[in-house]
Structure 1
Amino acid sequence: MAYEYNQAPKEFDAQSAAFKKKHGNVDNLTDHIGQIKYDGVFCFINTDTMEARSRTGEVYQSVSHLIAECGQCFGPGWVVFMELYKFHTPHKAINGAARRQKPQPDLMGIVFDAVPVHRFNAKLDPTPYRQRLTDVTTRIFHSEKLATPIAYRRSDGKWTDLALKFKTHPTHACDGFILRDLDAEWTPGAAKNGEVIKVKPSLTLDLEVVAQHAEQRATKLGGYLTVTYNGVLSDVGSGLTQAMLNTILATMDGEWPFGSRTYVGTIAEIECLGITPDGKLREPRFKSFRFDTAAEEHKGD
């Protein structure tokens, strides 16, 4: 039900096998446009019925001013997709305002798409997104209640870096970073062929390994490498192979040392979702060792 009306973004890993094989990773997508996803509430407005609804079809009574504005900008026969938003306002407050049973004139609409009603009902608009977005931008250009999302090109930076930048932005205005295929048609449902992609933010660091640990668990080995960043220690278990853990296990007290190996002092390439307030890596994952890099360059302190 949640995806009956809108074209829903999914992460790169959730795209089709053919799409992932063709492109490799999200940062290789050069024909997409990036958009900030504002931390608001999804809404679509039908200018024939003059109704505003949620992603599940709930009618909003709070945005009569935006319904009227869409009628003015688009005329009859359109379905306009937007994020209900208010600057400098927490998501919880925006969500509450959207669901009130009386007008909330402070809410604005961040419009990211629009399709004709007959194509919405047919669940297909073959018009490329670049043309749909241009049409939206032209129609709402003079509006004080509607706006389009800030957009970025791949030349502005790696998509994952931009996603991390907005995730950690001090205004907390963003709920994510979205890529849209400029040649994609519109269909409702979860995007599977790269039409709309939610970018998972990541930060990649080369860090010194200062400790290691492995142990036998119920069905397989578990363990971690400990790395240092700005003097703060973080344990990294995700991404370690069983072969690596076997060589670490052999260094532990009470184990036979044959085939043992210590990674302490080496440089590990670690991917994470930024840094926590106490300085630790957020959801770190081991990617590889950087044997060509000097440890003293990456102690992080």
Structure 2
Amino acid sequence: MQPELSVQNLSKTYDDGFQALKNVSLDIDKGEIFALLGPNGAGKTTLISIICGLVNPSSGRVTAAGHDIQRDFRAAREAIGLVPQELSTDSFEKVWKTVSFSRGLFGKPPNPAHIEKVLRDLSLWDKRNNRVMSLSGGMKRRVMIAKALSHEPDILFLDEPTAGVDVELRRDMWEMVRKLRESGVTIILTTHYIEEAEEMADRIGVIRNGELILVEDKSTLMSKLGRKELRLHLHTPMEKMPPELADQPIELSDDGYELIYTFNSQQEQANVALLLRTLGELGVEYRDLQTRESSLEEIFVGLVHHD
């Protein structure tokens, strides 16, 4: 099946010599939620700007919904909705009119029923006759999303969509994104809130210094790069590590009351069973045990700071 969005060997060098993107290639399927993660200045916004036709690439090719973004710009751009980081809309215009106007910019005929549905889904219906300037920051962010959805795009870019908004609004947006995915919309999300990617994404890409250093299914990524930790709380303190455990990735706490065993998610659970059996043979008794697994944020930090 042809990918809904295809980026092939994309590079961008600005006039001052700064290379923002370096040979980026990426395919995203229809109905997929793809999270693009990276630190500030990594190239996320440049990549989105090129795909949306706001910045010209230095080299490479991009197709959106089967249309080349340079040779067939109008059709490609019509397939894309963009919610940028910055709030940029006519502050003096009313909500209904500014959203309807955005639909008209793409040559779409009026469709009041669709505009009403979008505003209701985003809890903006009661604000439809309010001027944008009178709205709160969170409501203005909703208006930006409504504008991006007004022309019924196949691909939706959310560039830091929940920056500066409260937790309740963030949850509402997550629910809206899920509904859009169910209707077949492809969603590309950039965010600094790693829990958003962990909550919603099917796949995750990590970009650093203009290079796409990793693209993985979320579950595969956490399995391959995540680490697990088993903590055993002992009945009586241990003075030193038994020699039988010397070759194991296990540490003894300073007070001697905890054994901390660290292993990656690819290692079989049999390793843990073997450890517990060995402790039993040594007569080491424990009163409790706890396990924890690396979060996506910990994996991300490890990737972008890896030398």
| TM bucket, shorter chain | under 0.3
Flag the structure with higher helix content.
2
What TM-score, normalized by structure 1, do the two folds share? 0.27
